[in-house]
Copies of this chain bind each other. A is one copy, B any other.
């Protein structure tokens, strides 16, 4: 696949958001730091706003109060007056703010208990985003680019803008900070702002000719017993092996009773978000992604 340069995009207002999940502390503390030291996120040719999106959940040290805020931004839901859970109302307020403030680029800061390193999540393949993502992969070998299009209903905060991305850093336990990941996450934010500044100036930041795009295509659930209780754990040989190839016949789960459950797929695939804490309630044990080599024109 080849992409032409998108020279038309000019960003005027960027929002850096943390605390969309209240127990993902790196984003919360990052945004607080940027609010205290705004020169860190100021650039010459656009405005930057910072937002702790779910301060009440942060205060409660929980992912959310009533429901996952980061599934409340579907346009139909935002228009639905019957949706009045705390996060459903909060989403409407945030959507209004993003619109009023004329935000045209969103960076949403997340953490994961999975060994996802420094993952850039895109919800579409806009050439501007792909070029930015390719640029970020050159900064740190832990940077990987994951596209979430599968089964996607535009219900995430970043879906409020065409241009936006989430940064997922891990592994880190919910409710904790981690100095190294904090610094790496901050460096990514800085690099994104630099990229935007240079593109706004008409410069073309140097990007690699090709990079790897991971596209999530499937979710695997936990095996359950007749009472719907989880009856198996991520197998030790799969634990923390995000982005390492999974082959047909490889161990996937280890039953509480010791049974080994193998991957039954027909071809090699890339596991992502293995054993993410917040996904237990979503019945999501791991995601499966395919690798796409992307070629960009300079």
Report the interface size class on chain A.
20 to 34
Q: Compute how far the CA of A62 lies from the CA of B175 in the bound complex, rounded to whole angstroms.
A: 12
Q: Compute how far the CA of A113 lies from the CA of B279 in the bound complex, rounded to whole angstroms.
A: 18
Using Cβ atoms and an 8 Å threshold, which residues of chain B touch A278? 175
Using Cβ atoms and an 8 Å threshold, which residues of chain B touch A192? none
- Copies of this chain held together in the complex: 2
A173 touches B113 (CB 8 A): yes
- Listed stretches A5-13, A102-110, A178-186, A208-216; interface member: A178-186
**A32: Cβ under 8 A from any B Cβ:** yes
- Listed stretches A43-51, A234-242, A263-271; interface member: A234-242
**A169: Cβ under 8 A from any B Cβ:** no
Q: Name the one of B113, B177, B229 contacting A275, with C-beta atoms under 8 angstroms.
A: B177
Q: Name the one of B33, B173, B174, B230 contacting A256, with C-beta atoms under 8 angstroms.
A: B33
Using Cβ atoms and an 8 Å threshold, which residues of chain B touch A172? 173
B233 touches A177 (CB 8 A): yes
* CB contact under 8 A between A233 and B277, given known A62-B62, A113-B173, A173-B171: no
> Which residues of chain A from 235 to 256 have any CB-CB distance to chain B below 8 Å in the complex?
235-236, 239, 254, 256
